[in-house]
Amino acid sequence: MFSSLFSSSRRSFDSLSEQEMLALAISSEEDDARIYLSYADGLREAYPQSAKIFEAMAEEEHNHRARLIELHRQRFGETIPLIRREHVRGYYERKPDWLVRPLGIDKVRNMAAQMEEQAARFYEQAAKRVSDAATRKLLGDLALEEKHHEQRAHNLEEKLTPDDVQDQERAGERKQMILTYIQPGLAGLMDGSVSTLAPIFAAAFATQDTWQTFLVGMSASVGAGISMGFTEAAHDDGHLSGRGSPVKRGLASGIMTTIGGLGHALPYLITDFWTATTIAVIVVFIELWAIAYIQNRFMETPFMRAAFQVVLGGALVLAAGILIGNA
């Protein structure tokens, strides 16, 4: 019983027979081709030229698979053992494409280069362990081809995605990130930072009870986050506007709204009222200047104009909360 608990269900690479080595190579090429096609499918709508690169690389993997199957048929017959990379201890792993989404241009190109490097290393090691001349030759040839795939991808990149196309794709990628994450997140941060100022500081100066103020701030922040998140997700499904997934936008808006409010609510966990209030005011101005920076950095709003709008508006709301709390 204990041996079954502690023993690994995976085979060691050295224990594989030559037939199993070929079967592992076949299943690996199948998986890699599917991954490249998934990359192509994920990129096709926004980056059609880059999608063609991965379609061509998938075709290369299909060619490798066909050559491996033909060799297996000649040596071992029609039945290929079922052995996959997850059955072999220490064998390289592949992440399914949904784990690396969103599929950024540079991200998938780097992933592809890593895949080719790992595949070349496998074929080099496998070639050392086989004695049949034809098998050894094929595995060695595939190792060289996998090494050359990166250059092949580079050549395809130069042909299908020249510099101007790559610049357009990266600009489109940045625009999509702004529409899906930055813009909703910024709106949420502004709402959470500014709209909660009045209730939090009104409660603070009305009660001068830090715990009660913290509870007011917590409820206002979480409530505003839920409201902003659902509003963002519900009012636009993203299909016509091109703003991306409503779930992603809703999460970005809701989370940043909550963070914006909690920034100046958390200081009221400090029991001394004036210490907590001083820290909260400092946090408020940090939040407002951060919002101005983000507007300037991503929304291309002139910094002084953004600072004037955000800081002045926030200061007026802060003053209103203090005045109401002292009334």
- Write out pLDDT tens, residues 101-119: 555 666 777 777 778 888 8
| Per-residue pLDDT at 165 | 52
Cα 275 to Cα 268, 279, 288, 316, distances in angstroms: 9, 6, 20, 22
| Per-residue pLDDT at 308 | 76
| Per-residue pLDDT at 106 | 66
| Per-residue pLDDT at 64 | 92
The answer to whether 221 and 197 are in contact (CB under 8 A) is no
Q: What is the pLDDT of residues 128-172, one digit of tens each?
A: 888 889 888 998 888 888 877 666 555 555 555 555 555 555 665
| Per-residue pLDDT at 238 | 65
Per this entry, what is the length of the chain? Answer: 327
Those residues of the chain that have pLDDT short of 50 are 1-7, 99-100
Helix, strand or coil for residue 88?
strand
C-alpha dihedral over 248, 249, 251, 252, to 10 degrees? Answer: 110
Helix, strand or coil for residue 324?
helix
Which residues on adjacent β-strands are paired with residue 11?
88
| Per-residue pLDDT at 257 | 87
| Per-residue pLDDT at 73 | 92
Distance separating alpha carbons of residues 210 and 279, to the nearest angstrom:
12
CATH number for domain 9-160, candidates 1.20.1260.10, 3.20.20.70, 1.10.10.10, 3.40.50.720: 1.20.1260.10
| Per-residue pLDDT at 74 | 92
Distance separating alpha carbons of residues 276 and 200, to the nearest angstrom:
12
| Residue intervals in the chain for CATH 1.20.1260.10 | 9-160
Amino acid making up residue 289: W
| Per-residue pLDDT at 65 | 93
| Per-residue pLDDT at 62 | 92
| Per-residue pLDDT at 6 | 40
| Per-residue pLDDT at 211 | 92
CA 65 to chain centre: 31
Half-sphere exposure of 3 (CA within 13 A, CB side): 0
